[in-house]
Structure formats: C-alpha cells, structure tokens
Amino acid sequence: MSFDFKFSIFGEKLERKGGIVDLMKDLGVALNEQTNMRMMGGGNPASIPEVQSIWRKRTAELLEEKNDFNSALVNYDPPSGNPKFLRAVAKTLNKEYGWNLEPENIAVTSGAQTGFFFLFNILAGEFTNGQQKKILLPLAPEYIGYANQGITQDIFVTHPALIEKKGQNGFKYHVDFDELEVDDKIAAICVSRPTNPSGNVLTDQEINRLSKIARSKGIPLIIDNAYGNPFPGAIYTEANPILDEHIILTLSLSKLGLPGTRTGIIIGPEKIIAAVTAANAVVGLANNNIGQALSLPLIESGELMRLSRDLIKPFYKKRMLNARSHVEEAFGNTIPYRLHESEGAFFLWFWFPELPITTIELYERLKKRDVLVVPGEYFFFGLVDHWNHSHECIRVTFSQSEKIVKEGIQIIADEVSKSYNI
C-alpha cells in the first residue's frame, strides 16, 4: 500500500532511524530467523540455570495460588503498581539501606525504558514560558536507549568523559567536572550506574558531587540502576546506593532474568511519582502484573537480595573475567585496542584508537560473519563538538554462552586486524 500518510513532528522523529530501533530490529531478526547469529550486541540477561529454576518454581506457585493468579491476569492494578508490591519494595529497601521510603515514593512502569520516556518528557522539553530545557548527561558515552526518547528535538546535552589510560590495553572514563556546565537550561542530570555501554561505575565521590550540584541547582539527579544495586547487583567494585529528596532511582526486573515481564521501578519524590503514575494511566491504563506477582514473595523475604548477591553477581563476574581472558588471547600484542575497566554490567567496551573505518562499518562486516555487536556511534548523542573517539568503540556482551563469546571475540579480533591492515 502506498497511501502517503502525513506525520506530526513527533511522528517524523519516531520514523527516523535510531540506534535503539536498529538494535532491537537486528536482535529480533537474529533471535527468530538467524539462529546461527552470535548475539553479542544486546543487553539480554543470561539464562542462569539456578535463577531460571527459581522463576519456574514461582510460576508454578502462582498457578497454584488461584486468587493471586486470577488477580494477576484479570484485574487492573492501580496505575502506580500493585499496592502489596509497592509496600514490599519500600520495606525491603528501607531495611537494606536505612531509607525512609513510603509506597507513595514508588511507581511501577512497563519496563525501565518506558519509565525514562516519562521522566525525560515530564522534566524537560518546552515549558509554558517558552523556555526549552534539557537533560544533562555528564559522561558520554551513555545508554543508547535514551537517545530518541525526547518528544521534542535535542532534549539532551552531553559532556565527553575524561579518559584515563591504564596499562598497555586498559582505560577508564571519569566525569570531567572542570568542564561540566549546569545552567538554568538544564532540567535534570542523569547517569547510568553501571554505565551502559562501558561498564564504568561512577564512584561514590562522583555520585555525591553530582548530587550536590543537582541540589544546588534545584533539579533532580536521576540514577539508572538497571544493572546495579540493589538488584541485579552486577557491580564488581565498591558502589553504595544513595537517596535524597532530589534523587530519582530507577530499577528493573529485566536483568534478574525477567525481561519479558517489562517491569520497571521508579523511586523518587512524591511529586515525580504522582506524575509518572498519571502518565501510566494515560498511556497504558495500568502495568504488567506478572512481574510484580512473580517477584513479590522474594522481595518481601529479602530473597531477591540474596539471589542477586550469591547467584547473579558471581555468575556475571566469572563471565566477565573469562571474556577478558579471551580478548587477551585473541588480540595479542599486535592489534591496537583498549578495553574499559569492567566494573559492572554485562558488557566489554572496546576502544580501537585511530581505527581506519567507523565502527558502524565494522558492525556491518561483523554481521556478515554472524557476530552481532553494537557500534559505538550510537552512544555519543548530544555532544556539541565532534569527537573521534565516538567512531572507535564497540559494545560487546559477555552474557551469552562461553562458546559463543569466545568465537565472537576471535572473529572481532580478526576483523579489526583486517581493518588496520595488520
């Protein structure tokens, strides 16, 4: 059909290609049609046998709990989430961290991605006085999924990270506080911790400094904990969660092995939570009940914390160490590369200094060899000035099987070697 529909500005924005759209399309095709593809691009959690066993057991229990099962399938929850679930989250986090949360400080969304769409557009964009405000991302590269979430154009302003080279093949990002500008056009500061894509974990000192800046400007600090504490706890260095009246935390059940339930959790001031709740009602009436129903007893008992600490974190730390070992073996001393310090999340973040091709071209070459990664260009949105570094990085997940990760890294090394004409 060739009828020429006309789109709004927002519709045209959605129609244009974006990194997260391309990534999810490629992942979907590979999962359903290209079964030989080595899936080393997405943020899918691994299938951890012990964890999946727990979720199978909980599913069976839910089926036996007729009232709970019927309620989860038949009833709409309030738009903020199931009241029992909200109370359990508040009680558990208060016990774990000494916080003072009430259910009114928590809202559930249909995945953390949806939650960020609400937060960014509630806080930034066009105001009644005609002012345009933006979200400040103080450390680029930053999460690919943020890039296209603004209803209006250019909703982000991003600062490039400081790069600390470590040893022969390592490096680490830091917030460049000397260059960080927070004027009255900034509506909120946002960081992911661990940082997706690099696996960088902002130190407690960096987080506290950002918090002080946000408080002094009367704006929120949003901390994306999709891979972090308290769950799934995929952090391999010291990092303490913080909460204050100007801080918004986001959590997710996805990396616990439940991405299909689309369950995000937003924690913050009552005014923010009320706005998110209203957005839930307007956009989707209510949220997915299944993830809340499955995880509720584990949250109430504190089992979810143990699950994260004793099963999930050690699993991914071992996978990370093995993956780094495969990199050392495959790349050797002849191929120019640096690997970001692996402080958290499920990814290796490669930097190929002065790479002769863009990583989008490298991505296409690897895809032809049945290896799916994510080119770095997509993670450097919102920069004012061009940065060559943005064309020299790729994100590679190590959550797949040991065999796939090893094979994929070997192919990546071979293709990068060809790019350098080594």
CATH for 259: 3.40.640.10
Q: Give the per-residue pLDDT at 68.
A: 73
Residue 382 has pLDDT above 80, yes or no: yes
Question: Stretch 333-356: mean pLDDT, rounded?
Answer: 96
Confidence of residue 22 (pLDDT cuts 50, 70, 90): low
Q: At what angle do helices 112-123 and 270-284 cross, to 10 degrees?
A: 110
Other C-beta atoms within 10 Å of 58: how many? 17
Residue 188 backbone zone (phi > 0: left; psi -120 to 50: alpha; other: beta):
beta
* Two structure tokens written together for 224: 């994306």
pTM score: 0.92
The total of structural domains in the chain comes to: 2
Dihedral in degrees, nearest 10, Cα atoms 39, 293, 282, 106 = -100
Is 113 a member of any domain? yes
Q: Give the per-residue pLDDT at 146.
A: 94
Q: Both 30 and 80 in a single domain?
A: no
Q: Both 120 and 266 in a single domain?
A: yes
Q: Both 312 and 413 in a single domain?
A: yes
Question: Stretch 215-220: mean pLDDT, rounded?
Answer: 97
Q: Both 178 and 251 in a single domain?
A: yes
> Where in the sequence is the domain holding 374, given as residue range(s)?
9-51+307-419
Residue 406 has pLDDT above 90, yes or no: yes
Q: Both 130 and 236 in a single domain?
A: yes
Is 59 a member of any domain? no
**Which residues contact residue 311 at a Cβ distance below 8 angstroms, ignoring those fewer than 6 apart?**
48, 50, 51
Q: Give the per-residue pLDDT at 154.
A: 86
The better pLDDT of the pair 17, 250 is held by 250
* Two structure tokens written together for 399: 């959550």
Is 287 a member of any domain? yes
Answer for the pair 21, 148: CB distance below 8 angstroms, yes or no. yes
Residue 40 has pLDDT above 80, yes or no: yes
Confidence of residue 121 (pLDDT cuts 50, 70, 90): very high
Q: Both 265 and 384 in a single domain?
A: no
Residue 31 has pLDDT above 80, yes or no: no
Q: Both 116 and 252 in a single domain?
A: yes
Is 412 a member of any domain? yes
Q: Both 301 and 365 in a single domain?
A: no
Q: Both 120 and 230 in a single domain?
A: yes
Q: Both 118 and 248 in a single domain?
A: yes
Q: Both 178 and 295 in a single domain?
A: yes
What mean pLDDT is reported for the chain?
A: 91
Question: Stretch 350-358: mean pLDDT, rounded?
Answer: 96
pLDDT digits (tens, 9 = 90+) for 139-189: 999 999 999 899 988 899 999 999 999 999 999 999 999 999 999 999 999
Residue 306 has pLDDT above 60, yes or no: yes
Q: Both 169 and 318 in a single domain?
A: no
Is 1 a member of any domain? no
pLDDT digits (tens, 9 = 90+) for 228-239: 999 999 999 999
Is 57 a member of any domain? no
Evaluate the omega torsion of the peptide bond into residue 230 and state whether it is cis, within 30 degrees of 0: yes
Q: Residues of 129-158 as b/e, b for ≥16 C-beta within 10 angstroms? A: eeeebbbbbbbbbbbbbbbbbbbeeebbbb
Residue 18 has pLDDT above 80, yes or no: no
CA distance 383 to 282: 33
CA distance 143 to 83: 31
